[in-house]
Amino acid sequence: MDDDNSNALRRMSTRTRKVAPKMAAALGSSDNRSQAALARLEALENDNAGIEAVEMNDDDEASLDEDDQAYMQKRSKGTKRKTRQAKALENARKAPRSFLELLHEANLESLPPHVPSYLRAAVGPPSSTSRRHFCSVCGFSAKYTCVTCGMRFCSCRCQNIHNDTRCMKFVA
């Protein structure tokens, strides 16, 4: 949620940080941070995502299992693979596509600049670049940034909670 890579002139600490090599790789170019932030924002538009995903999987597996049994009785392996592929394709065609996919397909960028479109109706970035930061643990205004993941916290107590529960949990 918190990414501070927008400001290039930000003064960085000169202290060398001890970071495990794996974690350093994960953090790389702070790309993971912005990715995690984007993923969080995406998640705000979800319906009951977890449940739905599970349910979809269940359906697929159930149908495949049935097919398996049917094929075991009758057909050879070659045709089985083919139909599975076809089935997957058909499923992909039938499955509702997300709005972002449809938006991408509509190719609104190609419209001339004076035509109002979904993309041009977006309000755009705020005029002031200052933003308030709230502690990710308790919600009050936060002064400090976690050096590993970039989320905010306000006190030592919150930092400990953050480290124990949330820090870098999203990379895995």
Partner 1 sequence: MSNVVVLDNGGGFIKAGQGGERNPAVVIPNCLYRPLTSKKFLHPTTTFSSSPDDLTSAAIRRPIDRGYLINPDLQRDIWSHLFTSLLHVTPSSSSLLLTEPLFSLPSIQRSTDELVFEDFGFSSLVVADSPSLVHLYETSCRPCGLVSEAQCSLVVDCGFSFTQAAPVFQNITLNYGVKRIDLGGKALTNYLKELVSYRAINVMDETLLMDDVKEKLCFVSLDVERDLQFARKHGKDNLFRCTYVLPDGVTHTKGYVKDPEAAKRHLALTDGASSSEAIETKNETDQLGVMDKTAERKRVDLTKNEFDLTNERFLVPEMIFQPADLGMNEAGLAECIVRAVNACHPYLHPVLYQSIILTGGSTLFPRFVERLEKDLRPLVPDDYQVNITTQEDPILGVWRGGSLLASSPDYELMRVTKAEYEELGSARCRRRFFR
Between 55 and 75, name the residue whose CB sits nearer to partner 1.
55
- Cβ distance to partner 1 smaller for residue 78 or 96: 96
* Cβ-contact 150, 3 below 8 angstroms: yes
* Cα dihedral across residues 28, 136, 141, 46: positive or negative: positive
Centroid of chain to Cα 70: 38
Instruction: Compute how many residues bind partner 1; rule: CB under 8 A.
Output: 47
171 binds partner 1 (CB under 8 A): no
Q: Is 169 in the site for partner 1 (CB under 8 A)?
A: no
| Among the residue ranges 14-22, 66-74, 84-92, 120-128, the one whose residues contact partner 1 (CB under 8 A) | 120-128
C-alpha count within 13 angstroms, C-beta hemisphere, residue 137: 21
> Does 166 participate in binding partner 1 (rule CB under 8 A)?
yes
Provide the angle, in degrees to the nearest 10, between the axes of the packed helices 77-94 and 49-73: 150
Ranges within 1-20 binding partner 1 (CB under 8 A): 1-3
102 binds partner 1 (CB under 8 A): yes
Phi and psi at residue 153, to the nearest 5°: -145, 165
The tokens of 39 are what? 């993923």
Cβ–Cβ < 8 Å for 82, 89: no
When binding is defined by CB under 8 A, the residue of 19, 35, 45, 60 that contacts partner 1 is 45
Q: Is 144 in the site for partner 1 (CB under 8 A)?
A: no
What is the contact surface with partner 1 in residues (CB under 8 A)?
A: 1-3, 37, 40-41, 43-48, 50-52, 55, 96-99, 102-103, 105-106, 108, 116-118, 121-127, 131-134, 136-141, 165-166
